[in-house]
């Protein structure tokens, strides 16, 4: 059951198979190069692609566009204080803006930053300060068959081994990403959050939470962690942040907006320092590169994210897609995470060698069979690594219906049926920065 109905609709269309073939050829077999109008169901990302509520749209009309000290800013500060428990907030144009402001303030050349897993922009901002990002994922994360309920956890053994190796003075900040985006959107337990906070305290480091999907994480804690069954999502959400010194947030995730983000912190001195960097890169620290109306939409969205039954329905819809795919024998990464279902391309295309990009071939096949756009997060996106060839189908929030999910599952099933028709890809044109090649490289089917 869904606790909302549509007030506004946006037409989408499934163009013909011939048109899809032509569009994909034109796009160089790279779904990032497709025009959105040629995509029927767009699962490229859940970032900024969701549907806002009537209350959010109404709040936008109230937006105060004052350059400094706007009412919109104060409403956001109240929301952040009520929902997350931080006294100081700096709005930014999106999550990476918050990363630039905070990590630019906290890090110096030669520092080392452990994180359960760095999201790619977080990693880039740590590197951009001359510091070294180190991932400390739970060993369960690497095991697709593990039924561990909190595969997103930070591995404290790895954390302590790092301290042993580089010394605690080299580690000014410890980061925890909830949910763990780079590990299939898997959650982090409250027990682990507390243990990481303690670890940070013991080595005299600041404890920062990458809070993008804090509401989805709270839902998993309520569902899976003993003692939280009867605690409200709002209370769990606040408890997650109780031990953190600061957070970075992308409003495009669990603040339910199309653009926006913020950094928030407890310490006034850190706030004063971060504000200076915010002025340089984002704008005056009460608007941070956003219009007042965008800030108001975010202030309302944050509260909606912890108001039942929003997040329960959200995470259930993702699980529903996972079930529809599993019922059709499509191999998916289990358990499903908070925002996306991941398909295992090497199982669907066992005849395609890794260097012919089975994951990217699967992205193309899903588009050809049913106009569905996903994204490859395997050997094509991460060259030179041995990452499994997974394809992510990320669900925008409050956007698609059950019938759409059925279409996605049917599409994946028909790819599975026609698997032998797909033969792998080779790169024909590549940008100079290999790490970013998946955004713009052009490919073509391998010649027999
Ligand atoms: C999306 C995301 C970011 C960056 O936020 P943007 O709004 O895309 O700049 C940082 N960390 C995580 C975990 C994310 O999912």
- Range of weakest confidence among 126-130, 167-171, 383-387: 383-387
Judge whether 15 and 23 are in contact, CB under 8 Å: yes
Residue 338 beta carbon below 6 angstroms from any ligand 1 atom: no
User: What is the Cα–Cα distance from 387 to 378, expressed in whole angstroms?
Assistant: 5
What pLDDT is attached to residue 383?
A: 84
**At 435, is the pLDDT very low, low, confident or very high (cuts 50, 70, 90)?**
confident
Distance of CA 227 to the CA centre of its chain: 27
Q: What is the pLDDT of residue 171?
A: 98
Q: Quote the CA–CA distance of 152 and 148 in Å, as a whole number.
A: 9
Mutate to test the pocket of ligand 1, among 44, 154, 253, 338 (most ligand atoms within 8 A of CB): 253
To the question of pTM greater than 0.85 for the whole model, the response is: yes
Give yes or no for residue 94 CB within 6 A of ligand 1. Answer: yes
Report whether residue 186 contacts ligand 1, using a CB cutoff of 6 Å: no
Query: Which residues neighbour 335 within 8 Å (Cβ) at sequence distance 6 or greater?
Result: 147, 149, 151, 186, 319, 322
CA distance 399 to 49: 8
- How many angstroms separate the alpha carbon of residue 425 from the centre of ligand 1? 29
Beta-ladder partners of 180 = 186
- Which domains occur in the chain, in start order? 17-39+309-445 (3.90.1150.10), 54-305 (3.40.640.10)
- Pocket flag, ligand 1, residue 47 (CB < 6 Å): yes
> Rounded CA gap, 88 and 263, in Å?
8
pLDDT one-digit tens code per residue, 141-166: 888 778 899 999 999 999 999 999 99
pLDDT confidence bin for 272, thresholds 50/70/90? very high
Ligand 1 neighbour 212 (Cβ under 6 A): yes
């Amino acid at each position: 059951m869904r606790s909302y109905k549509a007030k506004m609709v946006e037409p989408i269309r499934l163009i013909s198979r011939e048109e899809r073939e032509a569009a994909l050829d034109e796009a160089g077999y790279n779904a990032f190069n497709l025009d959105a109008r040629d995509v029927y169901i767009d699962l490229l990302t859940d970032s900024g692609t969701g549907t806002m509520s009537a209350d959010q749209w109404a709040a936008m009309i109230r937006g105060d566009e004052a350059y400094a000290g706007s009412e919109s800013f104060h409403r956001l500060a109240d929301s952040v204080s009520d929902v997350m428990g931080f006294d100081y907030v700096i709005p930014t144009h999106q999550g990476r803006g918050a990363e630039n402001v905070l990590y630019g303030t906290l890090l110096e050349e030669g520092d080392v930053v452990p994180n359960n897993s760095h999201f790619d922009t977080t990693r880039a901002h740590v590197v951009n300060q001359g510091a070294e990002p180190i991932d400390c994922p739970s060993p369960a994360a690497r095991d697709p068959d593990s039924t561990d309920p909190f595969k997103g956890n930070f591995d404290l053994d790895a954390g302590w081994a790092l301290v042993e190796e580089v010394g605690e003075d080299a580690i000014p900040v410890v980061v925890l990403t909830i949910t763990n985006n780079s590990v299939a959107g898997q959650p982090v337990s409250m027990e682990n959050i507390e243990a990481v906070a303690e670890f940070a305290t013991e080595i005299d480091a600041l404890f920062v939470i990458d809070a993008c999907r804090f509401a989805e994480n709270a839902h998993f804690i309520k569902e899976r962690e003993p003692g939280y069954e009867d605690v409200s999502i709002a209370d769990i959400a606040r408890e997650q942040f109780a031990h953190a010194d600061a957070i970075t947030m992308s409003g495009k995730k669990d603040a339910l907006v199309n653009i926006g983000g913020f950094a928030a912190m407890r310490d006034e001195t850190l706030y004063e320092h971060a504000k200076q960097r915010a002025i340089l890169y984002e704008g005056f620290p009460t608007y941070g590169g956003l219009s007042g109306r965008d800030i108001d939409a975010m202030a309302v969205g944050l509260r909606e994210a912890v108001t039942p039954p929003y997040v329960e329905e959200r995470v259930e819809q993702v699980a529903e897609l996972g079930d529809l795919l599993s019922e059709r024998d499509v191999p998916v990464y289990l358990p499903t995470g908070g925002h996306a279902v991941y398909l295992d391309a090497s199982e669907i295309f066992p005849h395609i060698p890794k260097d012919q990009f089975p994951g990217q071939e699967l992205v193309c096949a899903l588009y050809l069979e049913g106009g569905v756009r996903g994204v490859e997060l395997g050997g094509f996106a991460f060259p030179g690594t041995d990452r499994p060839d997974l394809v992510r189908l990320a669900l925008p929030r409050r956007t698609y219906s059950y019938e759409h999910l059925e279409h996605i599952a049917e599409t994946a099933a028909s790819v599975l049926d026609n698997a032998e028709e797909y033969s792998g890809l080779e790169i024909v044109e590549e940008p100079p920065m290999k790490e970013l090649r998946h955004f713009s490289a052009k490919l073509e089917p391998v010649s027999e």
